[in-house]
Structure 1
Amino acid sequence: MIYVDADACPVKDEALRVAVRHDLEIAFVSNAWMRLPEGPNVQRVIVAEGADAADDWIAERIGKGDIAITADIPLASRCLKAGAQALGPTGKPFTDASIGMALAMRDLKQHLRETGESRGFNASFTPKDRSRFLEALELAVQRAKRGQA
């Protein structure tokens, strides 16, 4: 199963394409109704409003062999602890080896924004990011199918 943290996710169509190719269920989880890709194995989940409602819904259900697509580092950490794989929308995999540093950098950047030291600009999403994501998701699905997730 692929779980997509759908709020502000730029690769929903790509995730669906990979899910369909491999006949996997995919759940798009969001805090509000939005236009989402459709397909035979698509589940749309709208959770109650709240800062972490979508994250909680995913974290409560994800497990070994599943894949989460999220830019939310704390959610990625929760998914890894549940035995799942986690990918960012640029194709960067979150791993047990990298999640600690990712959480620390997230906290540092948040502190710098709060103190005015940084304005917190995000890099724009590029076609290269989209391509890298497709490749990374394909590899994650292959690992899950081999039981290596």
Structure 2
Amino acid sequence: MQIWVDADACPKVIREILLRAAERTGTPLILVANHALPVPASKLVRQLQVAKGFDVADNEIVHRIEAGDLLVTADIPLAAEALDKGAEVLSPRGERFDRGTIRAKLTMRDFMDTLRASGVQTGGPPTLSQADRQAFANQLDRLLR
């Protein structure tokens, strides 16, 4: 198992939780982003920097992820593709995506995109709370056991 992170939009506090978990469990961690990220010197942690562009990081993750790997992302279409490849998927808020619910999430995402395109202000996600961080850490521990 490897942990893949859609790191362009992953909150720093979540990356820090992931770094500690990778070291504690001996699990390889790959941060994929279109810009350089600070990563500690570790045999387990690496950054994969991709070219800038729409979905370049997502496409690289989909190309490389394998069944049994774990992906951390809030990107619903990316989550769906990773699930199709047999990976586990966890959001930075601790929500575990699965094949039974991902289609409904894709439909809602598309609906919200349509609303935004027609000028409706939908707002963004709430700030990451302490409860979100704890939920993420708890789910991560379950998945790494």
TM bucket (normalised to shorter chain) is over 0.9
Counterpart residue type for residue 119 of structure 1 = T
> Which secondary structure state, in structure 2, belongs to the residue aligned with residue 45 of structure 1?
strand
- Are the structure 2 counterparts of residues 77 and 37 from structure 1 closer, same or farther at C-alpha, using a change threshold of 3 Å? farther
1:37 to partner: Cα distance: 4.7
1:121 to partner: Cα distance: 2.3
- What is the aligned residue count? 142
Counterpart residue type for residue 89 of structure 1 = P
| Ranges in structure 1 where 5+ consecutive residues have no aligned partner | 143-149
Alpha-carbon distance in structure 1 between the residues aligned to 2:143 and 2:76: 18
Tell me the residue number matched to 1:29.
32
Is the aligned partner of 1:76 residue 2:79? yes
CA RMSD of aligned residues (A): 1.2
In the alignment, is the contact (CA less than 8 A) between 1:113 and 1:119 conserved in 2?
Answer: yes
Q: TM-score of the superposition, structure 2-length normalised?
A: 0.93
Q: TM-score of the superposition, structure 1-length normalised?
A: 0.90
> Which secondary structure state, in structure 2, belongs to the residue aligned with residue 63 of structure 1?
coil
> Which secondary structure state, in structure 2, belongs to the residue aligned with residue 124 of structure 1?
coil
Is the aligned partner of 1:54 residue 2:57? yes
| Ranges in structure 2 where 5+ consecutive residues have no aligned partner | none
Is the aligned partner of 1:86 residue 2:89? yes
Alpha-carbon distance in structure 1 between the residues aligned to 2:51 and 2:104: 31
Tell me the residue number matched to 1:118.
121
Alpha-carbon distance in structure 1 between the residues aligned to 2:85 and 2:41: 27
Aligned-pair identity in percent equals 38
1:38 to partner: Cα distance: 4.7
In the alignment, is the contact (CA less than 8 A) between 1:13 and 1:37 conserved in 2?
Answer: no
